[in-house]
Amino acid sequence: MTQELNDGLPAREAALTLIDAALSRRGGLDEAASANGFRFLEPRERAFARALAMAVLRHLGPIDRALTARLQKAPPDRVMHLLRLGAAQAFYLEVPAFAAVATSVELAGANKTSRPFKGLVNAVLRGLLRDAPPTDDPSLLAPPWLYARWVSAFGEATAREIAGQIAIEPATDLSAKPGADLTSLIAALEAEALPGGTLRLRRKGDVAAWPGFEDGGWWVQDAAAAVPARLLDVQSGQSVLDLCAAPGGKTLQLAAAGAQVVALDRSAARLKRLSENLTRTRLTAEIVAADAGAWDDERTFDAILLDAPCSATGTFRRHPDVLWAARPGDVASLAGVQARILDAAADRLKPGGRLVYCVCSLEPEEGEAQVEAFLARRKDMALEPITAAEAPSAGFPQASLTPRGTLRLLPHHRDDGQDGFFAARFRKVTA
């Protein structure tokens, strides 16, 4: 093997670790990417390893279908990951076929589990790469059980539109701090301005090195994720509770609007990132590490934003691993958690106050069904319909507005995509 190929082996080995973490549910891809073995790679190697892992995860269904046709029985996990990695390199990352095969065989021989399968890896990949790339049939891009749920909820045509977004690498969205020089920022970042104020760009590399980062002029936030905080329409000086706040994009939006924000999350580690972003953007909020459903504090608030724990199936554009880590039972168990926190949020709302409930999930049990169950048991809460007139300022596509006055933000509703979200707005009334 040439020295050039050997130079890429650490990144490919790291990619195997990321793929295994994503598919085995042992902490997930993000946790693996923050581990010492990954962080000690050179920046270029880290970027390559992540790109390799993402290519596998975005195309896992078609890759596995093509591989399974050439395998008599399933090999050990490491061997299967090597085959996936080799296929993804050649088919989706434009790595020369000889390099994709050679590096996979070399990695197979470097581990006692996969060493006996060097011949298999070589033969399967050589045979596979003589064929045309697998077709990215949308129905194959998501796990079968999940795709079937989307067909049931939205119909076959919409399910295919949703799933088709899995294979597409997303742009990066930013929320600009009010008062920032947008004209200069757009020019410096080569960004596109979206409705509502989100900036969308195709820039790659270290976000911290981008123009305006050190000055605190913006933060990373998907266009769909920025919508729920705008729906609260908070006024300067109002008291706002941001429940399940980390990593903090919505907290920054609320603080930037002049609200007195309490940002609560059960994860102290994730709140550290929020605190860092508050410091960088020169915004302020009270940070509380506590369980949203059992917080021991008597205060009530003018407005509450609840971005509830959920299956996160709507975040697959940037986190395709969520699709393969999710299990059918997750949705039902999380729905119970969401209902508990919704009730706790309603109890903390002042009369006449607004509550926005949202989840980055595509599953109706976590969205539409929660709304109806909540209204049925809480006579002190009324749905405040979201209107089409709010679309330009809140930044949501008209296609995402439901007849009920809630938002079902689907990934294909926006040109170039967006995260999948559900959002509903309530007002506290006299019971």
pLDDT in tens, 33-51: 766 667 778 888 888 999 9
pLDDT > 50? residue 288: yes
Angle subtended by helix axes 77-92 and 9-24, to nearest 10? 120
Is the predicted pLDDT of residue 335 greater than 70, yes or no? yes
Among residues 134, 118, 283, which one has the least CA distance to residue 215? 283
Q: Closest Cα to residue 83, out of 4, 8, 11, 16?
A: 16
pLDDT of residue 36: 60
Determine the average pLDDT of the residues in 319-325.
Answer: 92
Asked whether the bond before 133 is cis by omega within 30 degrees of 0, the reply is: no
| Reported confidence tier of residue 317, pLDDT bands at 50, 70, 90 | very high
Across the chain, mean pLDDT equals: 93
Q: What pLDDT is stored for residue 3 in this prediction?
A: 41
Q: Identify the pLDDT of residue 1.
A: 42
Q: Between 37 and 206, whose confidence is greater?
A: 206
Strand partners for 239? 260
Q: Active-site residue among 244, 310, 358, 360?
A: 360
pLDDT value for 136: 74
Residue 81, pLDDT above cutoff 90: yes
pLDDT tens track for 389-414: 999 999 999 999 999 999 999 999 99
Considering 68-72, 110-114, 175-179, 423-427, the range whose residues carry the highest mean pLDDT is 423-427
For residue range 367-392, what is the model confidence (pLDDT) as tens digits?
999 999 999 999 999 999 999 999 99
Candidates 17, 421, 425, 427; CA nearest to 226 is 421
* Confidence (pTM): 0.93
| Per-residue confidence (pLDDT) for residue 205, from 0 to 100 | 83
- Amino acid (one-letter) located at 354: R
* Count of all residues that appear for the chain in the document: 431
Measure the CA–CA gap between 53 and 14, rounded to whole angstroms: 9
* CA 192 – CA 201 distance, rounded (Å): 6
Q: Are 394 and 227 spatial neighbours (Cβ–Cβ below 8 Å)?
A: yes
pLDDT at 293: 86
The backbone torsions φ and ψ at residue 288, rounded to the nearest 5 degrees and listed phi first, read: -130, 125
CA distance 125 to 90: 10
State the CB neighbour count (10 A cutoff) for residue 192: 15
What is the bridge-based pairing of β-strands 301-307 and 239-243?
parallel
Confidence at residue 179, expressed as pLDDT on a 0 to 100 scale? 83
**pLDDT value at 122 more than 70:** yes
Q: Is 244 a catalytic residue?
A: no
Closest by CA to 428, choosing from 386, 387, 383, 390, is: 383
Nearest to 306 by CA among 237, 353, 363, 268: 353
Angle (CA) 325 365 148, round 5°: 60
Return the structure tokens found at 359.
């989840």
Span 141-154, average pLDDT: 97
pLDDT exceeds cutoff 60 at 4: no
Q: For 203-207, 261-265, 317-321, 423-427, which range has the lowest pLDDT when averaged over its residues?
A: 203-207
Q: Are 256 and 283 in contact (CB under 8 A)?
A: yes
pLDDT at 6: 52
pLDDT score, position 94? 86
